Amino acid sequence: MVQKFGGTSVGDPERLKAVARRLVAARESGLQVVGVLSAMGKVTDDLIALSHEVSPLPEPRELDMILSVGERISCALAAMAINDLGHRAISLTGSQAGIVTDTSHGKAKIVDIRAHRIHEALEADQIVLVAGFQGVSTDFEVTTLGRGGSDLTAVALAAALDADVCEIFTDVEGVFTADPRIVPEARKLAVVSYEEMLELSASGGKVLMLRSVEFARNHGVRIHVRSSFNDAEGTLVTSQEELMEQPIISGIAHDVSEAEITILGVPDRPGIAAAVFRKLADESVNVDMIVQNVSAEGHTDISFTVPKSELARIDPVIEEVAAEVGARGVQQDSEIAKISLVGAGMKSHPGVAADMFDALAEAGINIGIISTSSIRISCVVPAREVERAVRVVHDKFRLSESVVLAEEG
């Protein structure tokens, strides 16, 4: 089995020893065990800060040489602790573990896993610790995988090693119906489908990064998200087919990291929307929700959301594109939040959207942009209302109570 431990789970020597005990316990239960570790606490942040002290815009190849060390330290320390527990362990860098990536430093994609060294170590009865978040490129350079990279390492190894399950130990107990800090009565989900998890992650859910879930779905890797602080069962992320029940609603995610932009009075001609979003794509702007109103008098408004962190950079681009298409003007609103209701069962329940809008209306919360997928409804609400919005929707669907199942069909 593959067990992955995040930064807070390996935050200090005592917690590292606890990780060692957990890996040993898994080994003693008769399983072959591969551990994937993140860097300790703030190690990677400190290394980034140090790099920026030396260079305002660090060379990506060299930054990867530096950022890859934190996970190696964690793994070697855990291997020492496991040896002290009377078991044999070996730590491997991403390169030694055979994690082969493309050459995009800082956001490399895994292209192959050549796990012969892991297999050899497992055959030799060793617990294998693999440094997360990194690999070796096809050019033999050290690469890092970007945000959520250690989860991706774990899921990819679980796929390559044909592991029964990839356990992701984290500082929360699993996936909840809503953020428990906002909704104290939020319920932990026993199981959630890849598709629902994808929607939750894409909608601001912090537990798993989108790309790990995508990789898990594409390779059929079952993920068990659980707490590194206790032994409680967490949340199993698996395929729709494996779910015993299909709840109408699985959970609510929210996201306060985006801003809303509206281009006003755009001439309603074919190709205008394409022109706008091609330009934004060329500037690598990560556009999320897009809504175009119906036309009135030959003009329309186009609204979309973008990460707030990119606003300063993309502002001139938007002004330029608005002028090009002959728009009347541009409006920006950073004080927004997105709340998303996710559930595989909502496909066959047309009333869900109406119920959600009702709940918000009853609470006097104004809805801006709306967008939907077959298993998700997202609404933009004022940022100051987001916590209340999450609570009223959570209440409306009685998500803290036992699961409401969708009917067959």
For binding to a second copy (CB under 8 A), which residues are involved? 13, 16-17, 47, 50-51, 53-59, 61-63, 65-66, 69, 72-73, 75-77, 79-81, 83-84, 90-91, 93, 96, 140
Tell me the C-alpha distance between 265 and 239, whole Å: 44
Residue nearer to a second copy on the CB measure, 63 or 337: 63
User: 71 or 196, CB closer to a second copy?
Assistant: 71
| Between 90 and 161, CB nearer to a second copy | 90
Tell me the β-bridge partners of 370.
379
Q: Compare residues 95 and 193 and give the one whose CB is closer to a second copy.
A: 95
How far is 299 from 183, CA to CA, in rounded Å?
42
At 90 the three-state DSSP class reads: strand
* Cβ nearer to a second copy, comparing 6 with 205: 6
The count of other CB atoms within 10 Å of the CB of residue 40 is 21
CB of 94 to a second copy, least distance (A): 13
Residues written for the chain: 409
Nearest C-alpha neighbor of 129 from the set 165, 87, 173, 164: 87
Between 13 and 220, CB nearer to a second copy:
13
Strands lying side by side in the sheet with 110-113: 110-113, 99-101, 134-137, 142-144
Q: Quote the tokens at residue 255.
A: 């996201």
Show Cβ contacts of residue 178 under 8 Å, excluding neighbours closer than 6 positions.
186, 251, 252, 253, 254, 390, 391, 394, 399
SS3 content of the chain, % helix, strand, coil (to 5): 40, 25, 35
Q: Which is nearer to a second copy, 49 or 405 (CB)?
A: 49
Q: How far apart are CA 57 and CA 55, in angstroms?
A: 5
Nearer to a second copy, 62 or 358 (CB): 62
DSSP character at residue 1: -
Q: How far is CA 243 from CA 136, 195, 239, 296, in A?
A: 37, 12, 7, 46
Closest distance of CB 8 from a second copy, Å:
17
Closest CA to 322 of 354, 289, 276: 276
Burial string for 390-408 (b: 16+ CB within 10 Å, else e) reads bbbbbebbebeeebeebee
Residue with Cβ nearer a second copy (38 or 51)? 51
In whole angstroms, the minimum distance from the beta carbon of 62 to a second copy comes to 4
Please tell me the distance from the alpha carbon of residue 365 to that of residue 299, in angstroms, as a whole number: 28
For residue 17, the minimal CB distance to a second copy (Å) is 7
